[in-house]
Amino acid sequence: MITTTEYAPAAAVPVTTAHTNGSHGASSVPARVVMRIEDVRKNYQMGETVVRALDGVSMSVRSGELLSIMGPSGSGKSTLMAIIGCLDSPTTGRYWLDGDYVENMNENQLAAMRGRKLGFVFQQFNLLSRTPALENVMLPLTYAGVRGKEKKDRAMHALELVGLADRSHHRPNELSGGQQQRVAIARALVNDPAILLADEPTGALDSRTGKEIMELFLNLHQTRGLTLCLVTHDPKVGALTPRVVRLVDGLIVEDGA
């Protein structure tokens, strides 16, 4: 049983600057591995037939890396993201996240992993309506047991990082799509995640706003050493990342630059 205080992040400052050597290939010393999966399989029962969404996938991500997982729809990229994000469990396979072995964790421990080591950005933003931006950003801290001034300060800092400090009291319906996605990014950053997962982050935005969001991601990666994994079918997004993992029919067919 993990208590709320146990999974409060050790670092009080969001997005540490400890990963300055993280830019891909910039360092002679290899950065440590923050995520590793080995031979992960995921089967779904669809009536009579078994659908193999993932059919033996192995990969790892180092701290400070920027990569995209690409593939056509039905290739298994969403399933892979769900498993990396501790939102779903693989049928078989091994998974380590930031030094913890994720397999066999119970619901509470998985919730703690999501709250402490992962950040999510979704296509549809998934902000709480009628809730001011600052409170949306504070949500992961609330569940992690951070309280009072520290909670507010960290959320405010995360909003500054995405350039929305002056919109902290606006509700989602008072913000543009791009601004809403920035709030969502601030929410994903606030717990200083080991890895940030972004599922089609520009999918619901027009191309100009989408480009701005990608620039924000790249900037956060370069200046703060953010480990960022984009899941997309958009080649324009994939072209911006040094590493591309390509999935077809539940298998990795390409992993590299």
Partner 1 sequence: MNLQDNIQVALRALAANKLRSALTMLGIIIGVASVVALIALGNGATAAITAQIEGIGTNLVTVFPGRFDKGGPQGRLQTVLFYDDYLAIANVSGVRSMTPIFQSLTTFNYEAETSAVQLEAALPSYEIVRNAELDRGRFFNASDNAGRSRVVVIGYKLSTDLFGAIDPMGRSLKIDGVMFEVIGVLKKKGGGGFGGGGDDGAIIPLETAYTRLFGGKAVSQGRRVVSSVSFAAATADEVEPLIVRLERIMRRQHGLSLTDKMDFTVFSQNAFLDAFTIITATLSAFLGAIAGISLLVGGIGIMNIMLVSVTERTKEIGLRKAVGARPRTILIQFLIETVVLCMVGGLVGVGLGWGVAAGVRALDLVKAEVTPGSVALAFSFAAFVGLFFGIYPASRAARLSPIEALRFE
**Which residue among 11, 12, 50, 128 contacts partner 1 (CB under 8 A)?**
128
Contact call for residues 69 and 91 (beta carbons, < 8 A):
no
Count of C-beta atoms within a 10 Å radius of residue 242: 14
176 sits near partner 1 (criterion: CB under 8 A): no
140 sits near partner 1 (criterion: CB under 8 A): yes
DSSP annotation of 199: E
Comparing CB distances to partner 1, the nearer of 1 and 257 is 1
144 sits near partner 1 (criterion: CB under 8 A): yes
Closest CA to 197 of 112, 97, 105, 102: 97
6 sits near partner 1 (criterion: CB under 8 A): no
How many residues at the interface with partner 1, by CB under 8 A? Answer: 29
Subset of residues 71 to 90 that bind partner 1, contact rule: CB under 8 A: 82, 85, 87-88
Contact call for residues 84 and 120 (beta carbons, < 8 A):
no
Contact call for residues 164 and 187 (beta carbons, < 8 A):
no
Comparing CB distances to partner 1, the nearer of 140 and 225 is 140
126 sits near partner 1 (criterion: CB under 8 A): yes
31, 117, 42, 230: CA torsion to nearest 10: -70
11 sits near partner 1 (criterion: CB under 8 A): no
Comparing CB distances to partner 1, the nearer of 125 and 217 is 125
Comparing CB distances to partner 1, the nearer of 14 and 115 is 115
Taking the complex as a whole, how short is the minimal distance between the CB of residue 148 and partner 1, in angstroms?
11
Contact call for residues 34 and 220 (beta carbons, < 8 A):
no
116 sits near partner 1 (criterion: CB under 8 A): yes
4 sits near partner 1 (criterion: CB under 8 A): yes
Contact stretch for partner 1 (CB under 8 A) within 44-52, 109-117, 222-230, 233-241: 109-117
95 sits near partner 1 (criterion: CB under 8 A): no
Contact call for residues 127 and 183 (beta carbons, < 8 A):
yes
Residue 22 buriedness (CB in 10 A; 0-12 / 13-18 / 19+): buried
Q: How far apart are the first and last CA of the chain?
A: 41
Contact stretch for partner 1 (CB under 8 A) within 26-34, 64-72, 139-147, 227-235: 139-147
CA distance 10 to 251: 36
Residues that bind partner 1 (CB under 8 A): 4, 7, 82, 85, 87-88, 107-108, 111-112, 114-116, 120, 122, 126, 128-131, 139-140, 142-145, 147, 187, 191
